[in-house]
Each structure stands twice: as structure tokens, then as C-alpha cells.
Chains A and B, each alone.
Chain A
Amino acid sequence: MRYAETGFYLEIDLSTGNIERVASDPRDTELYLGGVGTNYKILWDRVPPEVEPFSPDNIIIFSAGLLGGTMAPGANRTIVTSISPQTLFTGFSILGGYWAPQLKYAGYDKIIVKGKAPGLVYIWIDNDKVEIRDASHLKGKSTYETTRLIREEVEQPLAEVLSIGLAGENRVYFASIETATSSASRLGMGAIMGSKNLKAIAVRGTKDINIAQPLEFMDQCNEVLDYIQYRLENPIPGVPAILSFIGSPQEMALHDEKWHTISFSWGNARIRRKDFWNEEVEREWTQTMENARKKLISCYNCPVRCRGIIQMPGYPSYTMKCFSKLTYVMAAMADDLDFGFKIAAIAQSHGVDGFTTPQVMAFAVELYEAGILTDEDLPDFPSENRERFYYLLDKIVKREGIGDILADGVYWAARKIGKGAEAYDHNTIKKHEQIPIKLGMLNPIYYIMWSTGEKANITQIEGQLPQAPLPKEIREEFVKDWIQIPTGKEEKFKRFILEWGEEGKTFPFWPPPDLICELVEWQENMHYIDDSLGLCAGLSSFPLKPPYHMHNLPALISYGAGIEMDEERLWEVAIRVRNLVRASNVRRGMRRQDDKPPEDHWKKRFPDYEAKLLDEYYEYRGWNKEGIPKKETLQNLGLDFVYEDFVKRGILKEE
């Protein structure tokens, strides 16, 4: 019997209509756990680097994690993996809500979709019954409407539906995949669904997930739940409110937006408005929020309410979390929160990424103001910024006129537009738009994470550490119950927190490179573990002092999945997955030149020192100077097949 996982994948070829239920290899579970780990093994085996993102030969995987749908709180993530149309590297994007547990209850750990349907279709999974259904009547329908209509059609009001909107159908490079309460937004996974003519996947399941050691597993889950409650009642003192809680940043609950509005950049990631936040703004925004937000809700089996149901008069209701509250407002230089809620309602109905989309539009506005885009490109372009954003959003999701170019994102659009537009592309890495933060002094830990993160998204890498020295008076208290540090690193990491900010112990030349590498590795590894287990990062790798950590995760895996696991082995799995993801990108051409932060992310840069840091990190990870995993590294992790492929393709020389 298989525990925690179902042991089956659902393989669907949309070109031929063939559907198969295939047993997975339990050895892969031991090596990669599940979720992103096993997704990448499948992607490596089946999608050679020559395959273009929109080719029918590309695959898209919708996966639960190893612990998804078990009693483990917050084990609800759906991990979508494919080739990104924007970066041309591999991409994975994750959504919460209810979808993945439902897939497991239907009897599958993953759905692997290849090929391309002759016309628009959706997939309906009702336990063993799997159908590819015509979706021509859903063409152009909003993501909200699609969910509602499919639930009605299959006569299952609680079927879980993920879908794309107009943006995905039109292969907008930053199209998202939406469920009623969560989105997989980054890296254009919605466009891949669109390229396969796949509008939606609906699933209903009533089968069992088995637990290997039930009592022990439940004990662990109860402990996690207790700690969640403790952390909800005890925010970390002395840090900004936004960093003091667990979960996704509590943007839907908090009214104090000082931290985001004065530290993040407005417009096309250009201007910091250090005096923006004042009492009047706070009063107005609080009122807007109180009126718009109907309820705070959570994801499957999680008590933390990160998401708000938002309803603006005259707009469809939708759910929102985190910084999406501000991305449109800040990019449009609009001072009212009202606008943010309204435009997000439309954007999500079409299914676009709330990070990238506002930046693409702010970029277009800048180009217009600079005379690079003209009235010819933007006929009847409004003069008011908010109106401009509505205009641009509509053009982009329809790929109409200039929208067809902007729909490829800032990097590609800048190169197509030319006339100096490239200079306005200042906030992308690996061709992907980044969070709009512009800071002063280089942070060497963040430098490595920004540069080398495979997902090209800092929030998917950072998490265990504060971003600035803690106030002196709270340091001792902070480290006192800092139980999350991996074994053997406690003293070192605690000393780092205690000393950071003292004379001579400030960025950029402190801490020493070996400690920087270890701190980066910790943060990265935790994300790879979460994404393989299907755990929400908000309970684990993303906030300070999370409920899940290296001291309870091995037990949860052992008791839940019946796999022999301890801290050392789990660490190795994380490193294996991290290397397989890197290798998959290396095979598609990723090299040292791609490993860099946005050029103007910090004002104070140190090219020689940064190069040395990158060398140190590569060395620490067992990679060569180009960021390619070495033979020895790969073989020690059991990734011999990667080494052989690298040799065959001339990426590494045979040793």
C-alpha cells in the first residue's frame, strides 16, 4: 500500500484524447518526495531542451505534494510545472485553495497533460471517471464564470475547478491559472494551458488517503496546530507588523500599509514615496477596505486567514491576498485603494499575474511619456493614469494592437518596440518582472538569492531571516525560542542575529561568505521541501519562526508516507531537488550571465565582491564557475543521468 500519496498519475494526451492511470515509481518518492521534486523528474525525462513552450510536445503537470490532502495543516498546494513562455526556462507556479487535496481524493497525485486539443476543452475528473469535454461555450468566459458554469454542468457544486481566462486563451506570457480562491500566477502557466486548448480542469474525489503511522502522524499534526495557534496569538515583537505573523503577509487583515507604500517603489518600479503614508490615507484606505472586504478566508485545512473576499459595487466578487492589494495602485501611481480593488477584479477575471501585469502597464505608460510609444500605438489613450491602466489591461488580455506586444512582458516587448525601450526594462531578471523594490546598500544574502533563484521570484526563496538587523533590545529574545534552525547550525545562526548591526558587522562585507552560503542554503532548501510536500510556504519557508521546520518535517514524512526519513536525509532530498531544477534550466541554456539581480535593485553595488560571492556560492553548491552542477555533485545525489546527459550535450566534459 502507498501512504500519504495515491501512487497514481493521470496521463492525458489532448492530441489523441488518450487517458491513462499510471502507477508511479515509489523509489522516486524517496528521492524527490513529490510535488515539484517529482514534477522535475518527469519534466527532465520527457521534455528535451529543444521543445518550445507552446509546442504540443511540451507537458504541463498539475501536482499535489506528498503530504497534500493529509491531516497536515496547510498541505493543500497545487504545484504546476512546465516550460515558461516568458523565461524559456522551466517554470513552476503554485496555488493554494482546495484543488490539490481534491485531486488526491480522486485517486491521483498528478495530472500530466501533453499534446494539444483540436478545439477548446475542459477535463472533468470524478474519481475513476475522466472525460475530456467540449469547452467551446466557455471561450472567452471569465475565470469566475467558468468555475460556476462547470460546477453547474457536472452537477457538483463543490467540484474544484482551475481555469484560465481570456489571457490564458490568448497565450499572454503572464497569464495565470485561477481557482475560486487562489491563483498560480507566475511564469505564464496559464498561457501553456491556453496553448493546449485546455480551458479548465474540474475534479471531485471521494477516495481515501492512507496514513502509515496514524497515531504518531496525528500527534505531529496536533503539535503543528498548537504552534500555529501560539504564533497567531504571539506575533514577533519588534519587527514591522507585516513580518510578525505567519501565513502570507496579512494584507487583507492589516490596515497599516506604511511598510509597503514607503519602502516599495511606485510607477515602473521607479519612485519611493517616503512621505506617502499619513493619517488621512490610513483613514481613507481603512474605510475602502472595510467596505470591500466581506470576509477573511483560508485555504484547505488551514486556520490562517490570508485571503479576503473582495466585493466592489458593480464588479464581480473575487478573493485576494498579500501584496496584490497594492501592485496596481502603486504601479499606476494612483493614490486610492478603490482603484486597486476594482482593476484586480477585472484582471483576475481574465487570469493575469498581479505582479507582472501592473509593471508591464507602468512600463507602457513610461514609454508613452518618453515618446517611444505614440498615439499611433495607443489610439485614444486616456490622459488619466487609472484610465490608462484599464485601457492597457483590455488590450493585453485581448492581444489587441500594442497589447499583442505588451502581452509578452516587459523584456520581450522592449526588444520588439526598440527605439531605446530596452532601457526601460530595468526590473526583470531572467526576462521575468520582479517585485518593485529599490534599495541602497547591497545585501549579500539577498544578492545570492535574487541571482540564483530558479523561480526568479525572491518571495519564493527568502523567509527564515529578517531583512535588516533586529533592534538590539529584542535580539536575545528572538533567538531564545528560535527552534527552527537546522541541527548543528544553531549557534552560528543565533550568533549572526545577535551580532548583526554591531560595529563592523554590517553589510555588504559581513557576514563572511561561508556563512552567507549557509544562510542562503537554509532558506532555499526549506522552499524546495515545501514545494515537494505541497505545504503552504506561509506556514513553513516564508515567515519568521514558522510551524514547520527541519525538526518536525522528517517525522511527518516518516509517519505520514512510511518513508524512512531523518533530518540528514531530508536535507539531501532538498539539495537533490534544488540541483535537478538547476540542471533542468542549465539544459535549456541557463548560465552565470543569467544569475543576477535587477541592475538597479541596490544603489551601492560591488562588482568584484559580488563575483566572488557568486563563485563562493557555486562552489558551496558544488557547481562550476558557470553555475553548472559538477559531476561529483550530481553523482553524490544519485543524479548520474543528469551528468550523462550533460556530457552528451557537451554541457560538461567527460571526466
Chain B
Amino acid sequence: MGTEKKKKIIKSIKVDLDKCHGCRACEVACAAFHSSPKYSIVNPARSRIRVYRNELDNVFLPVRAGAYTKAECEGRQTYVINEQEYGECTFCNAPCPSRDLFKEPDSGLPLRCDMCESDPPLEEPMCVKWCLADALIYEEREEEVEEEEEIKEDELELGLELMADKYGLDKLIETVVRMAEAREGQTQ
């Protein structure tokens, strides 16, 4: 018996490095869109897309935040562009313990690009809309995927995961149980 196939829209953003001129409008639009209430805060440190820049060496590279990784990697790759060396971390999209990129500045919670999922949906993600240089190109394609229950990595789960890493899962469960009991006690 084969598993059911279903059609799914895969959304992606293509980056044309030749066109990026480092204006960071994508960061501004992203941070503003994801603030709450919407557009109430602008702070590129909260953006889920960041433009790595080395202006005088003509390096402009937008990177979108990917999945949180709890372990530091070895980062042994080195890139050479225009005779300048760049470490692997420079262009990496993962929020990780070794740096504060793609983490909320106050809480340290990891950030991840969600393609500006919202209700009603946007025509295209905000960073793409604000990129008049057309360095960011929104693409949708249909793919057949095996039907499985989707694992939702929403902010709560990411946050919990981070805390589990820090304090241990047992400790976390213990605390949650204690909190639940305390709350129950209050309502009785």
C-alpha cells in the first residue's frame, strides 16, 4: 500500500546577488511586518532576513533565517570572494548558540522566515515587495508530497526547545507540571 499523495504549494524566494545593492529595505519591511501590532516597530535586529555587506569589496548577500540549530557546527568552510576570505558563519542562515544573528534581541528566541504567512495572505512576502531592485524574487511551485502530519515549528515550540536545551527536558516538564498544579490550586 503506497501512501496518499497530495499537492502542496512550495513557496520560495530566489536571491539574485548581482542585483542586490545593499539597501536593506528587506530588513526594514520584514522587521516592521513581524512586529506586534503590525508595523509598530522597526528594528533590523528583529528581521528574519539580513543583508551581509562588505561595501568596498562589493559583497552584498541577503540571508533568510532558517531553522534553529542547537549545536554549534564546526564551521570549517571558507569562502573567498574578490580575494577576501569569509568564514562559513558569514553566510549561514541558522540561528545558533554561537552568535546573536536571527534571534530576538531581548529574549534571545530564534527567528525564522515564515514567508509572511498571514490572514488575509499577502501577494508576496514583504521583503520581496520592498525590494525594488528585484534581487529577491518570489516563487511558488506545486509539488506532490506524501501526506503526513505536519510538524509545526511555531514560536512556542521553538522557545520550548531552546529552554529544554538550556535546562534539560526533565526539568522543563517538572516546572510545567508544578505551574499547572499551582494554577489548579488557585482556582479551587
* Interface range for B: 20 to 34
Instruction: Check if A302 is an interface residue, CB within 8 A of chain B.
Output: yes
Return the contact of B58 from the options A218, A305, A309 (Cβ within 8 A): A309
Q: Separation in Å of the A390 CB from the closest CB of chain B?
A: 22
Chain A binding surface SS class? loop
B20-50 near A? 1/0 per residue, CB < 8 Å: 0111110011001001011111111110000
Contact residues in A for B42 (Cβ distance below 8 Å): 69-71, 208-209, 211
Contact residues in B for A299 (Cβ distance below 8 Å): 23
Instruction: Check if A298 is an interface residue, CB within 8 A of chain B.
Output: yes
Please measure, in the bound complex, the distance between the C-alpha atom of A180 and the C-alpha atom of B53, giving whole angstroms.
11
Contact residues in A for B54 (Cβ distance below 8 Å): 157
**A181 with B55: in contact, given A228-B132, A295-B21, A305-B21 (CB under 8 Å)?**
yes
B45 A105 Cβ-Cβ under 8 A? yes
B22 A225 Cβ-Cβ under 8 A? no
A297 B38 Cβ-Cβ under 8 A? no
Instruction: Check if A303 is an interface residue, CB within 8 A of chain B.
Output: yes
Return the contact of A317 from the options B23, B56, B100 (Cβ within 8 A): B56
**A309 with B55: in contact, given A210-B41, A214-B37, A218-B39 (CB under 8 Å)?**
yes
B133 A180 Cβ-Cβ under 8 A? no
B114-139 near A? 1/0 per residue, CB < 8 Å: 00000000000000001011000000
Contact residues in A for B46 (Cβ distance below 8 Å): 208
B39 A211 Cβ-Cβ under 8 A? yes
Instruction: Check if B168 is an interface residue, CB within 8 A of chain A.
Output: no
Contact residues in A for B58 (Cβ distance below 8 Å): 294-295, 309, 311, 317
Q: Which residue of B lies closest to A307 (CB)?
A: B21
Return the contact of A210 from the options B40, B60, B100, B132 (Cβ within 8 A): B40
Contact residues in B for A181 (Cβ distance below 8 Å): 55
**A214 with B28: in contact, given A158-B53, A295-B58, A317-B58 (CB under 8 Å)?**
no
Return the contact of A214 from the options B38, B53, B132 (Cβ within 8 A): B38
Q: Which residue of B lies closest to A297 (CB)?
A: B21
Q: Separation in Å of the A314 CB from the closest CB of chain B?
A: 14
Contact residues in A for B44 (Cβ distance below 8 Å): 105
Return the contact of A297 from the options B22, B28, B52, B100 (Cβ within 8 A): B22
Please measure, in the bound complex, the distance between the C-alpha atom of A71 and the C-alpha atom of B44, giving whole angstroms.
11
Q: Separation in Å of the B21 CB from the closest CB of chain A?
A: 4
Contact residues in A for B39 (Cβ distance below 8 Å): 71, 211, 214-215, 217-218
Return the contact of A211 from the options B24, B41, B53, B90 (Cβ within 8 A): B41
A248-291 near B? 1/0 per residue, CB < 8 Å: 00000000000000000000000000000000000000000000
Instruction: Check if A428 is an interface residue, CB within 8 A of chain B.
Output: no
Return the contact of A105 from the options B25, B37, B43 (Cβ within 8 A): B43
Q: Separation in Å of the B86 CB from the closest CB of chain A?
A: 9
Contact residues in A for B60 (Cβ distance below 8 Å): 295, 297
Q: Separation in Å of the A508 CB from the closest CB of chain B?
A: 42
Please measure, in the bound complex, the distance between the C-alpha atom of A399 and the C-alpha atom of B105, giving whole angstroms.
46
Instruction: Check if B57 is an interface residue, CB within 8 A of chain A.
Output: yes
A598-630 near B? 1/0 per residue, CB < 8 Å: 000000000000000000000000000000000
B38 A71 Cβ-Cβ under 8 A? no
Q: Separation in Å of the A355 CB from the closest CB of chain B?
A: 22
Q: Separation in Å of the A221 CB from the closest CB of chain B?
A: 9
Contact residues in A for B22 (Cβ distance below 8 Å): 297-298
Q: Which residue of A lies closest to B27 (CB)?
A: A301
Please measure, in the bound complex, the distance between the C-alpha atom of A170 and the C-alpha atom of B105, giving whole angstroms.
40
B25 A301 Cβ-Cβ under 8 A? yes
Contact residues in A for B55 (Cβ distance below 8 Å): 180-181, 297, 309, 319
**A73 with B25: in contact, given A180-B55, A180-B56, A211-B39 (CB under 8 Å)?**
yes
B32 A218 Cβ-Cβ under 8 A? yes
Q: Separation in Å of the A245 CB from the closest CB of chain B?
A: 14
B41 A317 Cβ-Cβ under 8 A? no
Q: Separation in Å of the B12 CB from the closest CB of chain A?
A: 23
**A300 with B38: in contact, given A105-B43, A309-B58, A319-B55 (CB under 8 Å)?**
no
Contact residues in B for A319 (Cβ distance below 8 Å): 55-56
A71 B21 Cβ-Cβ under 8 A? no
B21 A300 Cβ-Cβ under 8 A? no
A309 B45 Cβ-Cβ under 8 A? no
Contact residues in B for A475 (Cβ distance below 8 Å): none
Please measure, in the bound complex, the distance between the C-alpha atom of A365 and the C-alpha atom of B33, giving whole angstroms.
57
Q: Which of A205, A214, A319 has the most CB of B within 10 A?
A: A214
Return the contact of B41 from the options A73, A209, A296 (Cβ within 8 A): A209
Instruction: Check if A136 is an interface residue, CB within 8 A of chain B.
Output: no
Q: Which residue of B lies closest to A144 (CB)?
A: B56
Q: Which residue of B lies closest to A158 (CB)?
A: B53
Return the contact of B132 from the options A69, A303, A309 (Cβ within 8 A): A303
Q: Separation in Å of the A612 CB from the closest CB of chain B?
A: 47
Please measure, in the bound complex, the distance between the C-alpha atom of A211 and the C-alpha atom of B58, giving whole angstroms.
33
A86-119 near B? 1/0 per residue, CB < 8 Å: 0000000000001000000100000000000000
Q: Which of B25, B56, B90 has the most CB of A within 10 A?
A: B56
B21 A298 Cβ-Cβ under 8 A? yes
Please measure, in the bound complex, the distance between the C-alpha atom of A301 and the C-alpha atom of B53, giving whole angstroms.
14
A57-75 near B? 1/0 per residue, CB < 8 Å: 0000000000001110100
Q: List 20 A-B contacts (CB under 8 A).
A: A73-B25, A98-B24, A144-B56, A158-B52, A208-B35, A208-B41, A208-B46, A209-B41, A211-B39, A211-B40, A211-B42, A214-B40, A228-B132, A294-B58, A296-B21, A300-B23, A316-B56, A317-B56, A317-B57, A318-B56
Apart from A208-B46, A214-B39, A316-B56, list 19 A-B contacts with CB within 8 A.
Answer: A157-B52, A157-B54, A157-B90, A206-B43, A206-B45, A206-B100, A207-B43, A208-B43, A209-B43, A211-B39, A211-B42, A214-B32, A218-B32, A294-B58, A297-B55, A298-B22, A303-B132, A303-B133, A309-B55
Query: Nearest 6 CB-CB pairs, A to B?
Result: A206-B45, A214-B39, A303-B132, A206-B105, A214-B40, A218-B39
